[in-house]
């Protein structure tokens, strides 16, 4: 029979595995939070884009209305 000599004691191996699991869990948690933040930012950007588009459109409409009213006043 061949005996394999272990450098680490079994308990040390277990603790190493636990630490590895913990680091993996924290990394996944961090990536999840980063993804959520990015999604929030993109949602805000979309809202802002819509808002600016509406504002531009309303400005154009107001300009047209102002021009019409000024024409009517002249006549």
- The answer to whether position 32 is within a domain reads yes
b/e burial code for range 21-56 (CB count within 10 A of at least 16 → b): eeeeeeeeeeeeeeeeeeeeeeeeeeeeeeeeeeee
Q: Is 64 within a domain?
A: yes
- Number of independent structural domains in the chain: 1
Using the 8-state DSSP alphabet, how is residue 2 labeled?
Answer: -
- The pair of three-digit structure tokens given for residue 53, joined into one six-digit string: 């588009």
pLDDT, tens only, 1-59? 455 555 556 666 676 777 777 887 888 888 888 888 888 888 988 888 888 888 887 77
Please check whether residue 58 lies inside any domain of the structure: yes
Q: What is the pLDDT of residue 2?
A: 55
* Alpha-carbon span 23 to 19, nearest angstrom: 6
CA distance 9 to 17: 13
Poorest-pLDDT segment among 42-46, 49-53, 65-69, 71-75: 71-75
Average pLDDT, integer, range 46-74:
75
Query: Domain of 28?
Result: 18-75
Q: Is the pTM of the predicted complex or chain greater than 0.75?
A: no
Distance CA 50, CA 56 (A): 10
Specify if 6 maps to a domain: no
11 found inside a domain: no
Tell me, what's the pLDDT at 24?
A: 79
* pLDDT at site 5: 56
């Amino acid at each position: 029979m061949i005996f394999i000599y272990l450098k680490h004691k079994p308990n040390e191996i277990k603790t190493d595995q636990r630490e590895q699991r913990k680091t993996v869990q924290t990394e996944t948690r961090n990536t999840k939070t980063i993804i959520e933040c990015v999604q929030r930012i993109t949602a805000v950007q979309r809202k802002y884009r819509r808002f600016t588009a509406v504002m531009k459109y309303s400005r154009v409409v107001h300009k047209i209305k102002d021009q019409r009213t000024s024409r009517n006043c002249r006549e």
